[in-house]
């Protein structure tokens, strides 16, 4: 079994959907599971629906309509008039509207997941129908029936035992299966999601549970590069990367792979390929056991929109184990992701990601005990295997707020210009 994951960019319009057929024709259609994201920027569009529902009901129908129209336009290009897919897509959007009409839950994260899943549900129905239309037999699968999680909406934790049993039971015969990335469900069968950009992780969950030969993530770049080509000049394609190296790169912001993706793969030593859906015959990047990095070049990773909080004691007392443990407890409660930290006798600095919009209450709590300074919109720059000269060039003209270094890695928190 092989698992293929296609992201939003690879299904963003009618031509991209046709290209998936091309990729499958070139790589074979037997014994494969395809994990799909929502089309293009659909997830962002559905986030606007959730926002309108909670904050501005007058915009609700307009935001839903925009997303429906985007999908209808694509299927109008792909399918003949009167094809069953039109009804399927209309029904999905009707179900979304019905949910919002009857929902009583004030829980933003819960509602978010019940709404946001329609992106993936719709994209997989469209691609499955289009493959069938192109004479490629396939079976559509609702990932929510297989991947079970806890009730941490928007950031759900997988129940591996149940999930593995479900997946192995559902996917036995040789064939082509199409399913959604990112979505799962909790014990009462309400939808949960695995975190933004979580479809890569879904690919890894299926690969792990099926003992797949490999997982391929298809992208609009040739593979994993040693820096984001939108930020850095003269980037190089990395041909081989070890799991360890890749986990570190993904954690600090190399957005080509979702950070959670590598753990399940590494546990069963399932190779991960990152390849271009534009040139599917090119080798791309291989991530697996062995060679740390080939070619051995410096890698630069940028993570924007971080917050740097600096705490110091009000009365000049030391910041000790006890305080640090309290601080981390608060960071955990407010679901802040820590990306870097540093402490001295009377101060503590931590770089965090405010994924759940909880900065205000966190600062309020911290102010009760510490003098608090903070910078929003800072950038975390991670340089791996870089020479002093490369780092010097990189920092040219930028203001460093915090620096940390070991033998392989140098990290900077930079103030954005
Ligand atoms: N559609 C979801 C998102 O955009 C999941 C994914 O693309 O991986 O976050
Ligand atoms: Mg997406």
- pLDDT digit string (tens) for 376-386? 999 999 999 99
Q: Is 184 helix (H, G, I), strand (E, B) or coil?
A: strand
| Residue bearing the CA closest to ligand 1, atom 7 | 197
Task: Identify which ligand lies nearest to the alpha carbon of 202.
Answer: 1
For residue 322, name the pLDDT band (cuts at 50, 70, 90): confident
| Dist. CA 250 → ligand 1 center (Å) | 16
Q: Is the pLDDT of residue 265 over 90?
A: yes
Rounded to the nearest whole angstrom, what is the distance from the C-alpha of residue 157 to the centroid of ligand 1?
16
Nearest ligand to the C-alpha atom of residue 9: 2
> Does residue 255 have a pLDDT over 80?
no
pLDDT in tens, 186-235: 999 999 999 999 999 999 999 999 999 999 999 999 999 999 888 888 99
In this structure, which ligand is nearest to the CA of 199? 1
181 touches ligand 1 (CB under 6 Å):
yes
* pLDDT mean across residues, the chain: 95
Determine the distance separating the centroid of ligand 1 and the alpha carbon of 196, expressed in angstroms.
5
Cα of 42 from ligand 2 centre, angstroms: 7
The ligand placed nearest to the CA atom of residue 257 is 1
SS3 content of the chain, % helix, strand, coil (to 5): 40, 25, 35
Banded model confidence at residue 417, pLDDT cuts 50, 70, 90: low
- Judge if the beta carbon of residue 227 lies within 6 A of ligand 1: no
Give the bridge partners for 148, in sequence order.
185
Per-residue confidence (pLDDT) for residue 252, from 0 to 100: 87
Q: What is the pLDDT of residues 86-115, one digit of tens each?
A: 999 999 999 999 999 999 999 999 999 999
Strand partners, 307: 352
Q: Residue 416 — pLDDT band, cuts 50, 70, 90?
A: confident
Which of 42, 144, 181 maximizes ligand 1 atoms within 8 Å of its Cβ, making it the mutation to test the pocket? 181
Give the pLDDT confidence of 45-65 residue by residue, as tens digits: 999 999 999 999 999 999 999
Sheet holding 214-219, edge to edge: 139-141, 176-180, 32-36, 2-6, 214-219, 272-276, 285-288, 240-242, 293-294
Q: How far is the CA of 249 from the centre of ligand 2 (A)?
A: 20
Residue 1 has pLDDT above 90, yes or no: yes
pLDDT, position 344: 85
Q: Strand (E) positions, 223-294?
A: 240-242, 272-276, 285-288, 293-294
User: What's the confidence (pLDDT) of residue 370?
Assistant: 94
Ligand 2 center to 197 CA (angstroms)? 6
> What is the band of 375 on the pLDDT scale with cuts at 50, 70, 90?
very high
pLDDT tier for residue 315 given thresholds of 50, 70 and 90: confident
Q: Is 304 helix (H, G, I), strand (E, B) or coil?
A: strand
Residue closest via CA to ligand 1's atom 3 equals: 197
What pLDDT, on the 0 to 100 scale, is given for residue 172?
Answer: 83
Q: Output the CA 182–ligand 1 centroid distance in Å.
A: 6
**In contact, 402 and 413? CB cutoff 8 Å:** yes
pLDDT in tens, 141-177: 999 999 999 999 999 999 999 999 999 999 987 899 9
Per the CB < 8 A criterion, the answer to whether 153 and 115 are in contact is no
The pLDDT of residue 296 is above 70: yes
* Domain ranges, ordered by start, for the chain: 2-212, 299-415
pLDDT for res 397: 87
Beta carbon of 201 within 6 Å of any ligand 1 atom? no
Name the percent of the chain lying above pLDDT 90.
Answer: 88
Asked if residue 180 has its Cβ within 6 Å of ligand 1, the reply is no
Ligand 1 atom at minimum distance from 202 CA? 8
| CATH classification (class only), 2-212 | alpha beta
Cβ of 38 below 6 Å from ligand 1: yes
Q: Residue 258 CA: which ligand is closest?
A: 1
* C-alpha 49 – ligand 1 centre gap (Å): 16
Q: Evaluate: CB of 198 within 6 angstroms of ligand 1.
A: yes
Tell me the fold of 299-415: VC0802-like (3.30.2130)
The residue that leads in pLDDT, 219 or 316, is: 219
Ligand 1 atom closest to 198 (CA)? 8
Evaluate: CB of 196 within 6 angstroms of ligand 1: yes
In 3D space, the residue among 263, 308, 309 whose CA is nearest the CA of residue 287 turns out to be: 263
């Amino acid at each position: 079994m092989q698992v293929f994951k296609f992201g939003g960019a690879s299904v963003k319009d009618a031509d991209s959907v046709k290209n998936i057929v091309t990729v499958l024709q070139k790589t074979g259609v037997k014994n494969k599971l395809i994990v799909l994201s929502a089309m293009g920027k659909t997830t962002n569009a559905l986030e606007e629906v959730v926002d309108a529902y909670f904050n501005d009901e007058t915009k609700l129908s307009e935001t839903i309509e925009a997303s429906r129209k985007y999908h209808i336009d694509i299927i109008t290009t792909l399918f003949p008039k009167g094809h069953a897919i039109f009804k399927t897509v209309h029904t999905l959007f009707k179900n979304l509207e019905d949910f919002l009409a009857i929902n009583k839950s004030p829980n933003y994260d819960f509602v978010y997941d019940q709404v946001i899943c329609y992106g993936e549900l719709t994209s997989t129905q469209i691609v499955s129908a289009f493959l069938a239309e192109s004479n490629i037999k396939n079976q559509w699968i609702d990932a929510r029936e297989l991947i079970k999680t806890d009730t941490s909406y928007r950031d759900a934790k997988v129940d591996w035992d149940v999930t593995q049993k479900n997946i192995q039971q559902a996917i036995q015969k040789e064939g082509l299966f199409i399913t959604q990335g990112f979505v799962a469900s909790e014990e009462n069968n309400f939808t949960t999601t695995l975190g933004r950009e979580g479809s890569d992780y879904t690919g890894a969950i299926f690969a792990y549970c099926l003992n797949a030969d490999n997982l391929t993530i298809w992208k609009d770049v040739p593979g994993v590069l040693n820096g984001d080509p939108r930020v850095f000049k003269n980037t190089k394609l990395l041909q081989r990367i070890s799991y360890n190296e890749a986990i570190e790169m993904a954690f600090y912001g190399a957005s080509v792979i979702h950070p959670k993706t590598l753990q399940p793969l590494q546990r069963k030593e399932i190779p991960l390929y990152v390849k271009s859906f534009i040139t599917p015959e090119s080798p791309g990047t291989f991530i697996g056991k062995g060679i740390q990095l080939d070619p051995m070049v410096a890698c630069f990773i940028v993570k924007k929109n971080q917050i740097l909080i600096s705490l110091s004691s009000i009365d000049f007392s030391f910041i000790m184990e006890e305080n640090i443990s309290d601080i981390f407890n608060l960071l955990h409660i407010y679901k802040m992701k820590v990306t870097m930290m540093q402490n001295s006798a009377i101060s503590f600095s931590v770089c965090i990601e405010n994924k759940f919009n909880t900065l205000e209450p966190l600062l309020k709590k911290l102010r009760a005990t510490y003098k608090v300074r903070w910078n929003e919109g800072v950038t975390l720059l991670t340089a791996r295997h870089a020479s002093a000269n490369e780092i010097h060039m990189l920092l040219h003209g930028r203001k460093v707020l915090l620096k940390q270094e070991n033998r392989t890695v140098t990290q900077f928190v930079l103030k954005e210009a």
